[in-house]
Amino acid sequence: MTNQNAVEARNVIKAFGQGTSAVRALDDVSVNIQRGEFFTLLGPSGCGKTTLLRLIAGFEMPSGGTILLEGTDITYLPPNQRPVNTVFQSYALFPHLSVAQNISFGLEMQGKPAAEVKARTDKMLALVQMEAMAGRKTSQLSGGQQQRVALARALAPQPKVLLLDEPLSALDYKLRKEMQIELKRLQHETGITFVFVTHDQEEALTMSDRVGVMSAGKLQQVGTPREIYTRPVNRFVASFIGETNFLPASVVPGGVKLGCGAVIAVEGLSGQGATTLTIRPEQVRLVDAAEAEAIPATVTNLVYFGTDTHCYLALPDGAEVVARLQSPSNGEVGLQQGQKVALRFVPGAAQVLAD
């Protein structure tokens, strides 16, 4: 029976330090990463992304829980016995070896015959378009080239899983965009499962098949980019992925009531009393004041973002809502500060989330 999970973490705990000064870098994390998928771990600094990656690579042993690779328990296997390779944030290329020697290192350590090592190294050099630099020392390469060598080196032994710890964070914006496309291409061509770490939500959304959002050592939500963006499970995920409006509200039959008195229909509500309504800026529409369910508002600020214009609106009770409007071709949205307008939420888009 083949196991569909490339990596499975079960109730993994990792604590650093002892006694009262102990830090739980990972607090009961369970996740299934499927074969051949581009899985991204996303979260703010210090949330435990690197720690989870290091546990999968074997550089660190968990304080509790189990890690499986294609169904086999590898929790306490040393890193050199795991068919898993890592692209380090600092690249960690061997300075005393040439580009080609760096790439063949893993194959040689696996004891592959010389002819196979050579053939595979050449193939990898071609894959990352570094054939011309095979003989160079790694210190003579640019950041983007070092990145490619690090990728080729980690891919050469054909690992079951490739781990990438913020591999693009040291690159400038343009190169970063190029490498994002490059990474997707490499993943597609090799079919290897990628586990990618980033704290850049845009990168996570554009590149991944699925995203795991982490905060304070806990996995908050796992889902496709679309799922986590449109159906965040809690306020942390909603605010970390993209921009969103939070409005104080109270539960009433059939929906919630905002501070200004407007009632918004929300499905599946339980409980009562004070809560918070979440609505994405692009789900806020400016409408005619006469339209049903229109809420009066005042324009307080306009910020131009090229294709979009962010319109800051004040509701009658002072609550602030941001609406994202598509900029017309001449760039003018035809609004002015202080102007009285009316807004509406796209039906079904507003949500009430757990804290």
Ligand X SMILES: Nc1ncnc2c1ncn2[C@@H]1O[C@H](COP(=O)(O)OP(=O)(O)OP(=O)(O)O)[C@@H](O)[C@H]1O
If we measure between CA atoms, which residue out of 336, 334, 335, 309 comes closest to residue 323?
A: 309
Q: How many whole angstroms separate alpha carbon 163 and alpha carbon 124?
A: 17
- Does 48 engage in binding with ligand X (CB under 6 A)? yes
329, two tokens = 């071709």
- Does 212 engage in binding with ligand X (CB under 6 A)? no
- Does 16 engage in binding with other proteins (CB under 8 A)? no
- Does 50 engage in binding with Mg ion (CB under 5 A)? yes
- Does 45 engage in binding with ligand X (CB under 6 A)? yes
Calculate the alpha carbon distances from 159 to 206, 303, 345 in Å: 24, 47, 48
Bridge partner list, 276: 248
Number of residues counted as binding other proteins (CB under 8 A): 24
Bridge partner list, 258: 249
16 interface partner picked from other proteins, ligand X, Mg ion, none, CB below 5 to 8 A per type: ligand X
**Which ranges of the chain would DSSP assign to H, the alpha helix?**
49-57, 99-109, 114-127, 143-155, 173-190, 201-207, 225-230, 235-240
If we measure between CA atoms, which residue out of 288, 295, 302, 339 comes closest to residue 317?
A: 295
Calculate the alpha carbon distances from 284 to 41, 246, 311 in Å: 29, 12, 10
- Does 220 engage in binding with Mg ion (CB under 5 A)? no
- Does 215 engage in binding with Mg ion (CB under 5 A)? no
**Span near ligand X by CB under 6 A; candidates 46-54, 64-72, 78-86, 285-293:** 46-54
Instruction: Considering the complex, state which of residue 67 and residue 322 has its C-beta at the smaller distance from ligand X.
Output: 67
Supply the minimum distance, in Å, between the C-beta of residue 124 and other proteins.
13
If we measure between CA atoms, which residue out of 82, 11, 91, 90 comes closest to residue 52?
A: 11
The mark string for 70-99 relative to ligand X (x by CB under 6 A, - otherwise) is ------------------------------
277 with 295: CB under 8 angstroms?
no
Q: Pick one of 23, 126, 252, 289: the residue that binds ligand X (CB under 6 A).
A: 23
If we measure between CA atoms, which residue out of 146, 160, 171 comes closest to residue 92?
A: 146
Instruction: Considering the complex, state which of residue 20 and residue 45 has its C-beta at the smaller distance from ligand X.
Output: 45
Instruction: Considering the complex, state which of residue 48 and residue 232 has its C-beta at the smaller distance from ligand X.
Output: 48
Q: How many whole angstroms separate alpha carbon 40 and alpha carbon 164?
A: 9
192 interface partner picked from Mg ion, other proteins, ligand X, none, CB below 5 to 8 A per type: none
Q: Pick one of 80, 270, 329, 336: the residue that binds other proteins (CB under 8 A).
A: 80
**By the criterion CB under 6 A, which residues form the site for ligand X?**
16-17, 23, 25, 43, 45-51, 199
**By the criterion CB under 8 A, which residues form the site for other proteins?**
57-59, 78-81, 84-86, 88, 90, 92-96, 105-106, 109-110, 153-154, 157
**By the criterion CB under 5 A, which residues form the site for Mg ion?**
50
